[in-house]
A and B are shown apart, each in its own frame.
Chain A
Amino acid sequence: MKKQWDEQAILDNIRAGKQSGATYVFNQYGGKLLQFFKWKFKLSHEDAEEALQETFIRFIKSVCQKKFHGNASIYTYLSKIGVNECLRIIQKNTAYRDILIDGMKIEEIIDHSKDLEKELHYRLCVAKALEAFEKQNANECLTILTLQFEGWSIRKVADKIGRNEGATKTFLSECRKKLRLYLLKCRDESN
């Protein structure tokens, strides 16, 4: 039977010296972190993997040494460590010296690391919110939202899901309303 993980169960599992909790966190957030590291910090695949590895090592050590108590969510902590690891790699590697992040040079971006942390945190929070949304709502909702983000016209989406345009518009609006409820938490956390 597949184990249902909540954040406390994950922390307890890691503190007991076991691997499955950390594996779950890695599978849930690893890919998203790697994608963010490559996209935002323009890291090479190897450097992004190194940043990911160091992020998880620091995260697990903090959990085991009880530096991380679980008063913030796991992805908040991962965002903080992840951004710091990326900045460390950029600073030590001369190849990244001239890279601009959000139009800023590395010397300037260090002072704005909090913004990067917030951005990554928001990205991970949305991922978690979408997961919860998917569990509670019909998969069709997520499908048409995806199609709309991909730039499909209402007509094309309507044809795809076998509804007329008016019904599709209403359905899309309902889906967005429902989704907004799930994203409220992320808004609150980022403010």
Chain B
Amino acid sequence: MNQEDKETQALRAELEYRLQPIELNPQILQNVFKKTDLKPDWYVDFFNLWQKLILPVQRFSWQFLEWIWTRRVGMSFATSVLMVVVLIKLLIPYITYEPVPRVKSPPLILPELVVSNPQETAQTLKADLAKLGIVATVKTFDKGWMIEIVNLSTDNLDALSALLTEYKLKLPPPGESGLRILVVPGN
């Protein structure tokens, strides 16, 4: 093929290509960048700028360490740092905030038990609760008696429920750990 033919062929190919250019698969270029580790221009520029900013800080840190070393103050500096660390370790238990466990107080509206003999009923209920392992205190309150139970938890919840039903009382709602019952005189 002579020069003229080569030229004509190349010209024809290019002009044909211009009429119908090939749409390139963008994945090819992505694969090329992945394998050659080329990054977007903005990323490289940002990285270079960051390097420029961080370099003086790094240089200063090294100069400071070098200064410590050349002035032979390295040991005393290290001792001071160590002492500060030990002091912080020792003081931490005193300065750490420990939240006080919050005890939820029993509800303000007390379930009322109206009986002819309040003191006796209160004592009997206290004894019945004790059989289930629940500690209750009985004290006078206004015209009657108040049974106060701080911790109502028991292994036998069914028995406790039955006992309270016997006295026409109900278990407190879930989340309540204690119970106060007012026993008042009446018919």
Contact status B10-A126, CB under 8 Å: yes
Contact status B36-A122, CB under 8 Å: no
**Is B166 in contact with chain A by the CB < 8 A criterion?**
no
**Is A16 in contact with chain B by the CB < 8 A criterion?**
yes
| In the complex, residue of chain A having the shortest beta-carbon distance to the beta carbon of B38 | A19
Chain B residues with CB under 8 Å of A57's CB are: 32, 35-36
Contact status A18-B38, CB under 8 Å: yes
Contact status A35-B15, CB under 8 Å: no
The smallest C-beta distance from A4 to any residue of chain B, in angstroms, reads: 15
- Contacts of B97-128 to chain A: CB distance below 8 A: none
**Is B174 in contact with chain A by the CB < 8 A criterion?**
no
Q: Binary interface profile of A, 19-39, with partner B (CB < 8 Å = 1, else 0)?
A: 110110011001110111001
Q: Which of B10, B16, B21, B41 is within 8 Å of A19, CB to CB? A: B41
Chain B residues with CB under 8 Å of A149's CB are: 11-12, 15-16
- Contacts of B121-138 to chain A: CB distance below 8 A: none
Q: Binary interface profile of B, 23-43, with partner A (CB < 8 Å = 1, else 0)?
A: 111001101110111111100
Contact status A123-B10, CB under 8 Å: yes
- Given A31-B21, A31-B22, A146-B19; A126-B11 close (CB under 8 Å): yes
Query: How many chain-A residues does the 8 Å CB contact rule pick out?
Result: 41
| In the complex, residue of chain A having the shortest beta-carbon distance to the beta carbon of B22 | A31
Contact status A122-B6, CB under 8 Å: yes
Is the contact region of chain A dominated by helix, strand, or loop, or is it mixed?
helix
- Given A34-B22, A119-B6; A16-B44 close (CB under 8 Å): yes
The smallest C-beta distance from A152 to any residue of chain B, in angstroms, reads: 12
Contact status B7-A17, CB under 8 Å: no
**Is B18 in contact with chain A by the CB < 8 A criterion?**
yes
The smallest C-beta distance from A173 to any residue of chain B, in angstroms, reads: 16
Query: How many chain-B residues does the 8 Å CB contact rule pick out?
Result: 31
**Is A87 in contact with chain B by the CB < 8 A criterion?**
no
How many residue-residue contacts, CB under 8 A, span A and B? Answer: 101
Chain B residues with CB under 8 Å of A39's CB are: 13
Contact status A18-B40, CB under 8 Å: yes
Contact status B10-A23, CB under 8 Å: no
The smallest C-beta distance from B34 to any residue of chain A, in angstroms, reads: 10
- Given A123-B13, A187-B7; A26-B32 close (CB under 8 Å): yes
**Is A61 in contact with chain B by the CB < 8 A criterion?**
yes
**Is B17 in contact with chain A by the CB < 8 A criterion?**
yes
Measured CA separation A18–B16 after assembly (Å): 32
The smallest C-beta distance from B26 to any residue of chain A, in angstroms, reads: 10
- Given A35-B22, A57-B36, A61-B36; A126-B41 close (CB under 8 Å): no
Closest 5 CB pairs between A and B? Answer: A126-B10, A31-B22, A60-B36, A18-B41, A56-B32
A residues in contact (CB < 8 Å) with B: 13-14, 16-20, 22-23, 26-27, 30-32, 34-36, 39, 49, 52-53, 56-57, 60-61, 64, 119, 122-123, 125-127, 130, 142, 145-146, 149, 183, 186-187, 190
30 A-B contacts, Cβ less than 8 Å apart? Answer: A16-B44, A18-B44, A19-B33, A22-B29, A22-B38, A26-B24, A26-B32, A31-B17, A32-B14, A34-B22, A34-B24, A35-B13, A52-B28, A56-B32, A57-B36, A60-B38, A119-B6, A123-B10, A123-B13, A123-B14, A126-B10, A126-B14, A127-B17, A130-B11, A130-B14, A149-B11, A149-B15, A149-B16, A183-B7, A186-B10
Extra A-B contacts (11), CB below 8 Å, given A123-B13, A126-B7, A149-B11: A14-B38, A16-B44, A18-B41, A19-B39, A26-B32, A35-B13, A35-B17, A35-B22, A126-B10, A146-B18, A190-B6
